[in-house]
Amino acid sequence: MSTLGVSFADTALESRVLAGVDAVESQLTAAVDSSSPFVAEAAAHLLNAGGKRFRPLLVMLSAEFGDPSRAEVARAAVVVELTHLATLYHDDVMDEAPLRRGAPSANSRWDNSVAILVGDYLFAQASDLVSDLGTDAVRIQARTFSRLVQGQIRETIGPDADEDALAHYLSVVADKTGSLIATSARFGAMMAGAPEDVQVTLTEFGERIGAAFQLADDIIDVASETGDSGKTPGTDLREGVPTLPTLIALRSTDPADARLRSLLSKPLTDDDEHAEALTLLRAHPAMTEARAYVQAEADAASVLLAKLPDSPARSALQELCDTVVTRLG
């Protein structure tokens, strides 16, 4: 079976991991509930819209390097998924997004104030749950939250005048995406009682693979045909959102790229300009360079896995590394 790009060649591993993810799903439903019907409905809005549950899956796989049956493992997975869901409510407000996972975003269905407050509520629920996991877990969660917020702030204000735009963007991706995925892997190993060196390795792995998946999405947004990736190609281009390939292309000093640089310097609301930019960018060496960067990140994550004990769980994590690259086409 393949779930989220993970192949379970080992049926016992598959059974444990999927049972764990199911348990997390049940606990998530309970965690977002409230005595207020409105709060309960708004808090469950994005949960009911679905999602890949990538972070709980990573918690479960990382727990395989210790005792995955510990109750703390599922609770930790709920904490990271609640935190992720909370950031989505806030992101949709920041981005003025009308849709999330194919459904109206909370800010569209209600308003920005409701979406922000529901995000805060989910953060509070995550904080309540993590308090049962010990002071170390509380500290890790707080520092992860700090990175998430700082990443969002830096994305919002953009790079300083003398700051490299690409370096700025990569640091934002590390904080907004890599940090919580790293904590997912760390919590899984930590709550399962895995050795300290294994916890460190899995944390580093989470940072690498989390950033790699986000940067791969940047490339897919440009390279995919309509329908291939589940969203309209060039969405980030249309909205003027900086991504790995566009920032690499903007570094070009070749006079032949002047038109592309001009197009990429603004949101592309005009359909003809959008189509022109998409065509030019797809043929630009920036795409090759962006793919090479993601490949390097996936390779670095794979090297980290070699430090772990050989097991079906390690093979499943290796599959994640391979999936990052195969998604690029």
Q: Which two tokens stand for residue 93?
A: 């407000």
| The pLDDT value given to residue 240 | 86
- Please name the residues in contact with 102: beta carbons below 8 A apart, sequence gap of 6 or more: 49
149 and 77 in a common domain? yes
Last residue of a domain, one of 148, 173, 194: 194
Please write down the long-range contacts of 193-202, taking CB distance under 8 Å and 24 or more positions apart: 193/66, 193/67, 193/70, 194/62, 194/63, 194/65, 194/66, 195/65, 197/307, 198/65, 198/66, 198/308, 198/309, 201/304, 201/305, 201/307, 201/308, 202/62, 202/65, 202/308
pLDDT higher than 50, residue 229:
no
151 and 57 in a common domain? yes
| The pLDDT value given to residue 226 | 59
Residue 4 lies in a domain: no
- Please name the residues in contact with 299: beta carbons below 8 A apart, sequence gap of 6 or more: 321
- State the CATH number of the domain containing residue 223: 1.10.600.10
pLDDT higher than 50, residue 3:
no
29 and 128 in a common domain? yes
User: Which residues are registered as beta bridge partners of 103?
Assistant: 100
213 and 171 in a common domain? no
Which DSSP string corresponds to 105-150? Answer: -HHHHS-HHHHHHHHHHHHHHHHHHHGGG-HHHHHHHHHHHHHHHH
Last residue of a domain, one of 147, 171, 194: 194
Question: What proportion of the chain, given as a percentage, has pLDDT over 90?
Answer: 64
Higher local confidence (pLDDT), 269 or 99: 269
58 and 22 in a common domain? yes
Q: Which amino acid is at 53?
A: R
* For residues 154-169, average pLDDT: 93
Q: Which two tokens stand for residue 214?
A: 């986000």
167 and 110 in a common domain? yes
**What is the band of 6 on the pLDDT scale with cuts at 50, 70, 90?**
low
The 10s digit of each residue's pLDDT in 117-129 is 888 889 999 999 9
The 10s digit of each residue's pLDDT in 37-61 is 887 887 777 777 767 788 999 999 9
Higher local confidence (pLDDT), 144 or 6: 144
156 and 86 in a common domain? yes
The 10s digit of each residue's pLDDT in 288-298 is 999 999 999 99
Helix (H/G/I), strand (E/B), else coil: 13: helix
Lowest mean pLDDT among 49-53, 133-137, 177-181, 240-244: 49-53
Residue 5 lies in a domain: no
How many C-beta atoms surround the C-beta of residue 143 within 10 A?
Answer: 12
Strands (E), the chain: 2-3, 6-7, 99-100, 103-104
Of 130, 165, 194, the residue nearest 264 (C-alpha): 165
Distance CA 273, CA 51 (A): 33
Distance CA 64, CA 54 (A): 16
Residue 55 lies in a domain: yes
Higher local confidence (pLDDT), 320 or 226: 320
- Please name the residues in contact with 19: beta carbons below 8 A apart, sequence gap of 6 or more: none
Q: How far, in Å, are 80, 115, 149, 164 from residue 86 at the CA level?
A: 10, 9, 11, 30
The pTM of this model reads 0.90
- Torsion sign (Cα): 82, 84, 86, 88: negative
Lowest mean pLDDT among 45-59, 204-218, 221-235: 221-235
Task: Supply φ then ψ for residue 54, to 5 degrees.
Answer: -60, -40
Residue 238 lies in a domain: yes
DSSP state of 329: -
Last residue of a domain, one of 128, 161, 194: 194
Q: How far, in Å, are 33, 47, 242 from residue 41 at the CA level?
A: 8, 10, 34
281 and 229 in a common domain? yes
* For residues 118-144, average pLDDT: 94
Of 192, 198, 243, the residue nearest 16 (C-alpha): 192
Of 249, 222, 251, 215, the residue nearest 236 (C-alpha): 222
223 and 190 in a common domain? no
280 and 241 in a common domain? yes
Residue 54 lies in a domain: yes
118 and 62 in a common domain? yes
184 and 38 in a common domain? yes
| The pLDDT value given to residue 16 | 92
**Domain count of the fold of the chain:** 2
Task: Supply φ then ψ for residue 242, to 5 degrees.
Answer: -70, 140
> In a 10 Å sphere around its CB, with 0-12 CB exposed, 13-18 middle and 19+ buried, how is residue 155 labelled?
buried
Residue 1 lies in a domain: no
Q: Which residue range is the domain that position 137 belongs to?
A: 10-194
Q: Which two tokens stand for residue 224?
A: 């995919």
